[in-house]
Amino acid sequence: MPQVMEFKLPDLGEGLTEAEIVRWLVAVGDVVAIDQPVVEVETAKAMVEVPCPYGGVVTARFGEEGQELPVGAPLITVAVGAEALPEAPAAEAEGSGNVPRPLIGYGTDHSRPARRRRVRPVTAEVSAPTAAPVPVPVPVPVPVPAAAPAAAGPAGPVPVISPLVRKLAKDHGVDLRALRGSGPEGLILRADVEAALSALRAPEPVAAPAASVAQGERIPLKGVRGAVAEKLSRSRREIPDATCWVDADATELMAARAAMNAAGGPKISVLALLARICTAALARYPELNSTVDLEAKEIVRLPAVHLGFAAQTERGLMVPVVRDAQSRNPESLSAEFARLTELARAGKLTPADLTGGTFTLNNYGVFGVDGSTPIINHPEAAMLGVGRIIPKPWVHGGELAVRQVVQLSLTFDHRVCDGGTAGGFLRYVADCVESPAVLLRSL
């Protein structure tokens, strides 16, 4: 008789505790190989495929596309054993034996090709050599079993099993006792709660304006948007930040870039030159490459510069991190910026690509704006903002001229340094922008 194994959503790592089902990669009745991806999920930091450590026949899926599941919730059940795979070798019906570990790097062997094969109809029986035919039920979807009994109200027990359905109703003020479930034996499903929400959001008749209530569009704060909201709110709560800014003549910097690119070889981006200037400035002012340990009441100065940079994507604002930026030249920085930006736009950044930053460079000039007061990327201590570089009247060599001017903004944690240090850092950055030779002398 085949053994039915339950595969649960594994530990996602990086402090993440839940994920949203984006797309199922297998259906009930499919044959899966060991470590074959079975579902694509989106966390607050990345979109990833989850491999299953068991090989066999998928007998049930838990959760619908668009539904959030907590770590440890069942994803699928798989019937393993030679009897479950009449067309497959017995070796492929076994599990990988892995204890689920963080999602990134989860699984044993991703080199073997994914296998997906339909077998008999999902209501077919699975036979064992020494037992009578055993039917394998395969309901889709199957609610996640709850340890607690259904809540009881004045009208009696509420037929709800899924904690996610309960949470959805609670978050939106839906009284479960007033709903009639569409599931088996009146079970209240997610679709029932969503239908109730749709009814609540329906506009009132125009004939009764006094009784109508304006209902705005509700957008859930989850996934990337929710993570950004939480991080920015925490930054504002915990960090006493201050901002200083300066205009700089970037004409010489742009000329230096043009000369470097005209010499052949990999193209150098403006962002890469600004990043190189930042790492040189942080070497002079290490206070700004630090973090505050509130529990120990200590400022921790960090030895390496892991440089985050803002990248706008269809999924929202991402801040990929360039590791050990202080040891990279402009060519290496340009290549790494391009690589991470492409991954961000494709939705393929891993949580490791988005964490561990020590300083952030935000080039909001690409949006056609001159200035901003950046919010520090918690738990970092500072962020440099760069506006657009445009021709402006400027006094150069004692005469009025049209020069390429940029506004630079530095937001810093006032706990790690005073205005003198922040001003010194920003002035050094501006001097390097105005005269790249200043940077060359410091290398």
Mark whether 110 is an active-site residue. Answer: no
Q: Angle at which helices 163-171 and 190-201 pack, to 10 degrees? A: 10
Q: Residues with Cβ < 8 Å from 439, sequence gap 6 or more?
A: 276, 277, 280, 432
DSSP state letters, 27-56: -TTEEE-TTEEEEEEE-SS-EEEEEESB-E
Beta carbons of 176 and 160 less than 8 angstroms apart: yes
How far apart CA 408 and CA 433 sit, in angstroms, is 10
How far apart CA 24 and CA 3 sit, in angstroms, is 23
- CB burial of 390-419 (b: ≥16 within 10 Å; e: otherwise) equals eeeebeeeeeeeebbbbbbbbbbbeebbee
How far apart CA 28 and CA 119 sit, in angstroms, is 10
**CA angle at residue 281 from 279 to 282, to 5 degrees?**
65
Helix, strand, coil % in the chain, rounded to nearest 5:
30, 30, 40
How far apart CA 119 and CA 116 sit, in angstroms, is 10
Mark whether 418 is an active-site residue. Answer: yes
Catalytic residue (choose from 175, 293, 396, 414): 414
DSSP 8-class letter at 68: E
Each as own residue / partner, the long-range contacts of residues 38-43 (CB below 8 Å, 24 or more positions apart, any chain) are 38/7, 38/75, 38/76, 39/75, 39/76, 41/9, 41/69, 42/223, 42/224, 43/12, 43/16, 43/18, 43/19, 43/103, 43/223, 43/351
Looking at this protein, which amino acid is placed at residue 76?
I
User: Shortest CA distance to 30 belongs to which of 22, 21, 39?
Assistant: 39
Catalytic residue (choose from 171, 175, 293, 418): 418
Residue tagged 């290496």 (tokens): 332
Each as own residue / partner, the long-range contacts of residues 46-51 (CB below 8 Å, 24 or more positions apart, any chain) are 46/347, 46/348, 46/349, 46/350, 46/351, 46/353, 46/354, 47/22, 47/315, 47/347, 47/348, 48/103, 48/104, 48/350, 49/25, 50/9, 50/10, 50/75, 50/103, 50/106, 51/106, 51/107, 51/110
Active site residues: 414, 418
